[in-house]
Every structure is written in C-alpha cells, then in structure tokens.
Chains A and B, each alone.
Chain A
Amino acid sequence: MKFLSWCLGVFVSAWAGQYVLAFFLPNIIMEALYQRGGDANSYNSMVVAPSPDETARSVVRPSPDLSYASCIYNLGAGPLRIEAPVPERYWSMQFYQMNTDNYGGITNQRDEQNRVGTIVNVTLIGPDSNPADYSGEVVQSPTQRGIVLLRSSNIGDDRESEDALVQSRCGPVVAG
C-alpha cells in the first residue's frame, strides 16, 4: 500500500512537473538564442543572416524563401530606434519577448502605410517607459530584452530583399 501511494505520488508530481518545465522551457531556449546571438554579433544592432540552407541551425525551421535580419535588444540603457526600408515583396518586422510571444508586428501586406519605397521608423521602448513621451510609431516591449526579426521574401530576384535588410538599422535613440 505504501509503495502504491509512493508510485501515485511520483506520477502525480511528474504530471504537474511537466507543466512547470513547459513554463520555463521557452524562456530557457530564448535565453540561449539571446546569449548566443548577442555574443556572436552584438546587442542592439541589426544583423543580416546568410540565406537559409541546411547549415542554418541556430533557429529551427528557417524558411528558404525568406531572408532574415535580427536585432537582439536590451532596453536597459534606453529606447532603440529601428529603421527599415520596405521592399515590394512580402516584408515584416516582428517583435518577440523572452517567453517567445510575438507581441507586435508590422507588415507591408496588411498595413497600407508601409508600402514599397517607405521607411518604417519605430521607437522601441521598455516596459517602464511611457509611450506618450515619444512621437511617431512606438512599440512597447513587455520585457526589457527580446528580439526584433525582419523577414523579407527572396522569391524571384532577391537583390531588393537583401538590400532592404542590409540598409535596416537598430540602435539607440539619438536625442535631437
């Protein structure tokens, strides 16, 4: 009887424990990506990734039809300005917090104002900042750290897509 109770206790604890592990897992995986990406390149700057192929193994399921650029950010020293020219084909700027949630996004397909030829200009502020203190397009990150990911379709002639990503910037807001 005592052994059966022990077995039941172990199983119930493990069953509940998997949810505890699942709760922390996204943060652990994002933390690893954050540290690896930031150490390999730098924080608060836009980095264009090579075209995805079988050697691209830093993030699961890369799309071979997309070019990517990312800014691994830390808003501890203040807000960031993200500038990105918009190409003709599919393009998006997505914002991720450290639990992997995609908390915001801009795309040239859904948003009429972000069409080819325009430059998207976003001020990315931290969770404790007041959006009313900033002008223009403001995105508030729920966490101090996270990742901004640019996706650009490389279907067909991929030069425009590559150029748009190369010309994109991520850096501290300069007063003035």
Chain B
Amino acid sequence: MKLFSWLFTAVLVVLLACVLLARTISAGFGAMGVQNGDWVTNVSAGSADAGVMLRATVAVGGLLASTREDSIYYRLNNVAGEPLRLNCRYRITGNDYDADWWSITAYGWDNFLIPNRLKRYAFNNENISRREDGSWVIHLSAEEQSENWLPTGPAGAPAWRQVTNYDFDLLLRLYTPGRAYIETPVSAPLPKVTLEGCS
C-alpha cells in the first residue's frame, strides 16, 4: 500500500512538472523575452548564455536557431493581447530594416509552414510589392487578397493536438542584423501588425 502511495505521488509530480513545463514553452519567448510592441525576441536564443527554460523553448519551437550575431528572430502571436485567429484579417505595414535581408513567415500553431494553394509562406525584402516611397503592406488572412497576400489556414497537424491559444504566428527574421537589433532589441524599428476585422 505504501509503495502504491509513493508511486502515485511520483507519477503525479512528473505529470504536474510536464504540465508546468508545457505551459512555459507554449508561452514561447513571451515569459523570458524582450517585448517590442507585439513582437517578442530573446537575444540569448541559440547561444550558450541561454538558461534552462529558454534552451527548452528553443528546442521545441525554434530548433537550430542561430545566435544573434547571425540572425535575430522576432515572434508575434497576438495583436494587442488578442491571439492571432484564422477567422480574422490582419494588416502588416513596414519599410526596410537594417539587416542583410529580412523576411516575415507565417507558421501554424504546430511550428510548421501553413499549407496553402499558392505555396506562399513568407515575404522578404525582395519579393514584396512596395509603394513608391518603399513602404509596403502585407495582407494576412485566410481569404485571398489582391496584393502581398500572406495566406493563413489550418496547421498541418491534427487540430486536437493544438494546445496554444493562437492559431498561427509570425516570425520576423533579420539576417546579419544592424547594431540596433543586437544592442537595443526592445526599441529597434519593426513592422506594425494591426487587426482589420474578424468574421
């Protein structure tokens, strides 16, 4: 009876530890990162400076990330606190950024590229259509849009496995970033994401 009691307690401890860890990891960089508007980054991702929790988070959601000298990753999974949803339309506005190149990619909640008819998963500084002044707008939605449409849609993994409160997220990659992104990631210029409406 005593053995059973110990076994039950041990299993409960392990299960509870798993739940606590899953909760931390599903929050992504949010709990241990640097916030810049709705974007979140962590300058220690991929490096030996990373703490135990950050290393685990990167292993699950960003395996084989480079250190900040090579690339900086900003992630966004909510707009003004509202998780990104498949039934909503978003507008991303921006310009150019101090980096060798940059890209914005949409990922499903499962951390993989979102299946879509056009096989369009991202825009980068070269393939994006710009206005005359160099600025640009990306339309992020499940319904097709006329220009710079970044499709969203159900993730490739079965829906019953979804544990996140968002349906998809965005990842901004800045390769060979300028000093502002390395030294002051909290205030470096980034694209702005706004909610246009939901159905």
Show the binding face of A for B, using Cβ within 8 Å: 6, 9-11, 13-15, 17-23, 25-26, 29-30, 33, 52-54, 56-57, 59-65, 89-90, 92, 94, 96, 99-103, 105, 107, 109-110, 147, 149, 151, 153, 155-156
Contacts and interface: CB of A to CB of B under 8 A. Distances in A.
B55 interface: yes
22 contacts: A10-B13, A14-B20, A25-B56, A25-B60, A26-B55, A29-B63, A52-B121, A54-B115, A54-B116, A60-B111, A63-B122, A63-B173, A64-B113, A90-B101, A94-B70, A102-B47, A105-B66, A109-B176, A110-B69, A110-B70, A155-B101, A155-B124
Given A18-B24, A100-B63, A101-B46, A61 B171 contact: yes
A35 to B, nearest CB: 14
A107 B177 CA distance: 13
B9 interface: yes
Contacts, number: 157
Contact of A19 (B18, B52, B112): B52
B113 A105 contact: no
Which of B12, B14, B59, B111 has the most chain A CB atoms closer than 10 A to its own CB? B59
A97 to B, nearest CB: 9
Interface size for chain B: under 10, 10 to 19, 20 to 34, or 35 or more residues? 35 or more
Interface of B: 9, 12-14, 16-18, 20-21, 24, 46-48, 50, 52-53, 55-56, 58-67, 69-70, 100-101, 103, 105, 107, 111-116, 119, 121-122, 124, 126-127, 156, 171, 173, 175-176
A101 B101 contact: no
Contacts of A156: 126
A151 B71 CA distance: 12
B119 A26 contact: no
Which of B9, B50, B63 has the most chain A CB atoms closer than 10 A to its own CB? B63
Contact of B156 (A6, A57, A147): A57
B52 to A, nearest CB: 5
Given A54-B115, A102-B65, A19 B53 contact: yes
B176 A110 contact: yes
Given A100-B59, A155-B126, 14 more contacts: A9-B9, A17-B16, A19-B52, A21-B56, A29-B60, A52-B121, A54-B112, A56-B113, A62-B113, A64-B113, A65-B103, A92-B70, A155-B124, A156-B126
B46 A92 contact: no
